[in-house]
Homo-oligomer: A and B are copies of this chain.
Amino acid sequence: MEGHGAYNRSSGVQAAGSMPAVDLLKVAGDTADLAPAPQPIVIADYGCSEGRNSLLPMGVAISSLRPRLGADRAISVVHTDLPGNDFSALFAAIESDPTTYLAQDRQVFPSAVGRSFYEQILPSDVVTLGWSSWAVQWLSRVPCPIPDHVQVAYSRDAEACAAFARQAAEDWRTFLFHRAREMREGARLVLLTMATDDSDDFGYQPLLDMMYATLCGMVQDGLISADDLKRMVIPTVGRSRGAFAAPFEHGRFEGLTLERIEIFHGEDRVWGEFESSRDAQRFGAKWAAFSRASLFPSLAAALDDPSKAPSFIPA
């Protein structure tokens, strides 16, 4: 839909929201059990997208492991995403971005896996440190249409809400099940994703309501069909604290323990900029660019006539 690096250019929202988790990743790197030499040390980045948001956390993970390993021990960094991800943008960022971890350390070896993390995609017992940011909110599939919104969090349809909640619970267990296979005994996994807060609020409501209203207007104007709109779903979920904890209710889940869970409001860098600039045009444009890069491709995929995609997401 968009050229190389569109996601990289508009992913500042996620980057700003990941800092507290990066601190936890450093702690995890300081404390994870290390594979004995000559077994490789593997850091996995689950759901890397085009990589820009991976460079800083991977750099932090490498820096925390390196003093424990000595200068000569190789560290493998494996970035994973769906097959259709732009891996060329990922490898270009790893090679050339000014913030790349590759420049800091000669014994770091990046690679990529283009497969869904809802399967086992790495050999058993190899991962020392896992990281996943802004990824596990994406469901493995859309369980059903949402009749009254594009985001299930703002639907009042009980059936759709229940189907999405079931899918979210199943996907969360599936994700953990496969990571449990891939992680070594004593490995650590730090995960940052969307959640609902303790008053069950998913957030983003003005943005998402506006998006749905605009789509309804496009149906009225004949730009898209009512059937197109019915199929348009953003297949993300915000899980509650209880939903995250559920697989661990009896302690261990597939050998994993839940060490810490924290729900917080992410820093909204776009809002912060607006507060000092008061430039509403720029504020809107930034959120639009973010939505375009992260959400519009999911909506456009629902178009009955794919040739409409370029006019649905104009350049």
Could you tell me if A114 and B126 are in contact, using CB atoms closer than 8 angstroms? no
> Which B residues lie within 8 Å of A40 (CB)?
40, 123, 126
Q: Is A86 interfacial (CB-CB < 8 Å)?
A: yes
Could you tell me the distance in whole angstroms from the C-beta of A46 to the nearest C-beta in chain B? 13
Could you tell me the distance in whole angstroms from the C-beta of A95 to the nearest C-beta in chain B? 6
Bound-complex Cα distance A160 to B121 (A): 47
> Which B residues lie within 8 Å of A76 (CB)?
123
A residues sitting closer than 8 Å to B (CB atoms) are 38-40, 74, 76, 78, 83-88, 90-92, 94-95, 107, 109-115, 121-126
A95's partner among B39, B87, B88, B115 (CB-CB below 8 A) is B115
Could you tell me if B109 and A91 are in contact, using CB atoms closer than 8 angstroms? no
Could you tell me if A109 and B88 are in contact, using CB atoms closer than 8 angstroms? no
Could you tell me if A88 and B112 are in contact, using CB atoms closer than 8 angstroms? no
A interface secondary structure, majority:
loop
Bound-complex Cα distance A256 to B78 (A): 28
A91's partner among B78, B83, B126 (CB-CB below 8 A) is B83
Could you tell me if A88 and B90 are in contact, using CB atoms closer than 8 angstroms? no
Could you tell me the distance in whole angstroms from the C-beta of A78 to the nearest C-beta in chain B? 7
Bound-complex Cα distance A124 to B73 (A): 9
Could you tell me if B92 and A121 are in contact, using CB atoms closer than 8 angstroms? no
Could you tell me the distance in whole angstroms from the C-beta of A122 to the nearest C-beta in chain B? 6
Bound-complex Cα distance A111 to B88 (A): 14
Could you tell me if A111 and B111 are in contact, using CB atoms closer than 8 angstroms? yes
Could you tell me the distance in whole angstroms from the C-beta of A185 to the nearest C-beta in chain B? 12
A111's partner among B78, B90, B91, B125 (CB-CB below 8 A) is B78
Could you tell me the distance in whole angstroms from the C-beta of A243 to the nearest C-beta in chain B? 30
Bound-complex Cα distance A109 to B122 (A): 6
Bound-complex Cα distance A84 to B126 (A): 28
Chain B residue at smallest Cβ distance from A110: B113
Could you tell me if B74 and A84 are in contact, using CB atoms closer than 8 angstroms? no
* Residue of A90, A91, A94, A110 with most partner-chain B CB within 10 A: A91
Bound-complex Cα distance A132 to B130 (A): 31
